[in-house]
Structure 1
């Protein structure tokens, strides 16, 4: 099954896809509610209550409003490319565990929404990823247990202001504002049964991934080139803590042109150039569909002072 959250005639709805249309659930139903009640049964027990709405008549919103969003770093080729300009290679610590950071669940945008340029940035990039959505709470899960905690999958585009990212990460924290403006989630949530035919002998999902800028293909990869499965990512995320229904976990950026920064590292120059207003980025995955977002001008940054330098001898209470 495939579920979508959308805006139609000025109102927010949730429904199940039926070909080129969406069958809406009762008013007030959210996908997060259904996930917490247990997909797909919760949706089966809650029949649509209105006539189908054509997909081309709605604005697709992010499928859900997640409690948290973790973004992982699981494609070795992506890291090799991004770090190549500094001749740094993949750090040995990367192989120890599937590293992730928390990003902003308030910054999610829909599959066709415009993307404002991040304030103060001049180097905007996209990142082609797939996300898994947690279906029920779990703690200290094994990978085998984690599979039963998956509600579904969706596309994930971690928009990145590379100049802000590089600058702020010199502090030893982050990424922060370099990743804070927009993350595309969509176009819908696909339940795990639809992806099972694509699972290989090692547990990876062999889905073809493609990135395009203004209709020109810039990257192609397979989701199965991840170094950890989604189940292993969930197990690590739940170690010593709780993953909850609706939590989103991004795969990290795929290789072979999954973002511009990787291509810049390989080529030693910014070709293709950073995204500019008017550019349209289309990301596609087998089964999951496509997201297509156009970059538009963003606001100017609100002025702030630099940090006050304090004398080495400081007053104390």
Structure 2
């Protein structure tokens, strides 16, 4: 099925939010799972707003010959790679090749840069789509939902360092850490987190002797209650960052964090904290990707596979 691809416009905001809400919830519910977005379609305007703020002009939509919005994909151009963000197809158009056409746009926008994405391991249809397009998985993450008591969350000190709220002047240290552990740079993303005035985002850093050995961002919104992106040098640092953020940003809620599946000791502690494994995600790349070092905690808002 051929459709017209075009950059999204500001007037498409509500329509795109409804598509994200309907497409994502429909897929999960058809496969016997709960809706990912229990709040109304308006809640998904969060994704449109943040992605347009970060990457205006790089959100493409697909319309059929009648003008019906049948597909949407956010692209995140960075100096080191192109991030493939949330991609949605209207349920009435599943299997019509629209996702493949949006994916071809990624090749056009990336040029010679690698294309990175994070996808659910449950969705074999999308895995097959990415596989046919030349993507290969390079890391596996466990989604862990952690119920945080309303009275707060206590966690042990495991290192000589300290966790504190991040400041704008921490930007160079965080960028250096991501370069070291992931081989990517996302200056605009990190700068956005650090300077957010809405209260939706918080960022913490772990430091020792003036050096940053870990950071963790977090968003609290009806459409996304997520810890990440973040990365650090060790599991102990990861636990201190997670404990600090759970206690200060997610009291009385159930946020989700993605942790490396190969970090079994970290997962075991999170299970002891009351966490449960609710899904698996695959970091995939078309091109080259550095094998993640330390502990990497990716997110979907924005993409950070």
Q: TM-score, normalised by structure 2?
A: 0.23
Which structure features the higher share of helix residues? Answer: 2
Return the index of the structure with the highest Cα Rg: 1
